Chain A
Amino acid sequence: MAYYAKSKGQRVVDWSVHYGLLACYLFFALFPLFWLFKVAVTPTKLLYSEGIRMWPSEMTWTNFTQVMTDTDFPQFFINSAIVSGSTAFISTLIAAAAGYSFSRFHYRGKAVIIVLMLVTQMFPLVMLIAPIFRILTPLGLTDSLLGLVVVYTAFNVPFATFLMQSFFDGIPKDLEEAAMIDGNTRFGALVKIIFPLTLPGIAATLGFVFTAAWSELLFALMLVSSPDAVTFPVGLLTFVSKFSVDFGQMMAAGFLALIPAAIFFFLIQRYLVQGLTAGAVKG
């Protein structure tokens, strides 16, 4: 923009500061994750003697193999994958429908629904722990993955709806109107014309909800007690209190927990900025 007015020397200083600051951010963001990995690949006998060395003198994968073979973590991992995957899929479907209706129709009660959704973002979810526990118990939904999916879907639908709405707002109305003139129903036009165009938005929403469900701890801790339905966060937390000595295995388990969320996030973060930009343009 205004940079061409400057001398070469000034520009060099300018870009050095720019990259220097970004390097600080990178260090702050990545060092804790690097350390997680470093401790996970450190052999137990070197854990304390080389506790603050940047890289251990010997490297090992045994922590990872032990977590996978000697603990319940593979089961927790599968539970978490089922819960997060189903939550992401169902929430995105529901949110896409609601977001589409917000974007394309004017109808009575719409403002009320939007306010309702905003309010749900405000109140402390801890407040819902007790009533939800009481309501789900007679339905047999405590101690089950299905119960977690229902609760997580409800928590994630409001934000996902606003996100989907902003993606639909970015697609011209003329497209489906043209298809409807050609004899399609609105739903037909939605599936055939609009759906392919919102794929990036759907990917962003899926990823966002997946990460949120993958991380949820408090409700998983409250609603589930039997080992078959324990999710990763709860498993890791009980691991901490039970075997507080084995840092290497904990870090290895933690690093494994990070992978699915990180992969999803890498895929979606560009679309997330795009989606929010579309919303911001609309005002």
Chain B
Amino acid sequence: MSTGNAMVTVLAFVLALVIGGVLIAAVDPDVTKAAGYFFSRPGDLLSAAWSAVASAYAALFRGAVFDYQADTFALAIRPLTETMTTATPLIIASLGVAVAFRAGLFNIGAQGQVILGAIVSGYIGFTYHLPAGVAVLLALLGGIAGGALWGGIAGVLKARTGAHEVIVTIMLNYVATNLLAWLLTTKAFIGTNGEPKSITVLPHAQLPLLFGSQFRVTWGFVIAILASVAVWWLMSRSRLGFQLRAVGSNPAASRTAGISVQRMTIYVMLISGALAGLAGAVQLLGTSKYITDGIAGTIGFDAITVALLGRSKPLGIFFAGLLYGGLSAGGRFMEVVTGTPIDIVLVLQALVVLFVAAPALVRTIFRIPAPSGELKGAAA
């Protein structure tokens, strides 16, 4: 089963890269020119297409992992640290999404929870002058609380009234976006700034850098590793995790066994939201330092796809998060170097997840026989 899954994931990635390559080649000016005289010299089209795709993907690699054309080792390794920086909040937030998945809930609201986490941790971080250590800890806890509150609303409503968590969390995303937009007009948040940009987080509340001032990686990355381990322990080793998974795989049986499905629903959304909130706090205290309306970027939405790609397992998510971080960091580099729009990365990400979610389709394309007894479309 697991080797089959790994192969499907690899093949899904190959398929996505191939389709992405076709797109890159299709819009390349040299390729279009060569296509004009395709029937006289078909080789030109192929070589033009190959060079367009190869240079784009080479730039993607150089921007994501290792820039082999850089002058110093520090510069060459810098892309990898950028990947780690981008991946940090993604990993934490998608751990939250995954906890919900495993318990049978779909938390689309990570985006809103990330925003709330950033709001609360930011407010603590730039308002209270506290000693080193205490400040950053309190700000992180504030972020956790903010995210948990936002996730908890959806959990309580689901448990008490049966309101579908997908709808409630989508709506809460927009409420959070507008709440942030409003806060960024208040004096408490923007101080004397004339633009919608919050006060900068006080130095004591910022996450320290991990590898010195050359790289942007902060202790947030360590927090991401710790969070992965914690979620692994919670889901695989703890009593609560067992109950959560039981509810996820069969609510009716769990109820019969004496597990309160309603209470578990609330717990799950609290934990899920708390992790997303922590992601927001880490992004703010480590990387951004001040809040703007784009503080959450697309972390919350990417977290969903990362969780799917990592099959909701902490280790899988850790690597899926790094992969996504790499694609984003590499995409930015590629856009500068070869002019290929970064949006191709979104296409790649979407395609990978689609193919991973439908192993049957990948098997059909590559004509691999289905392993016996595998369920069709088991995505999460």
**Are both chains from one complex?**
no
**Chain A contact residues, CB within 8 Å of chain B:** none
Name B residues whose Cβ lies closer than 8 Å to a Cβ of A. none
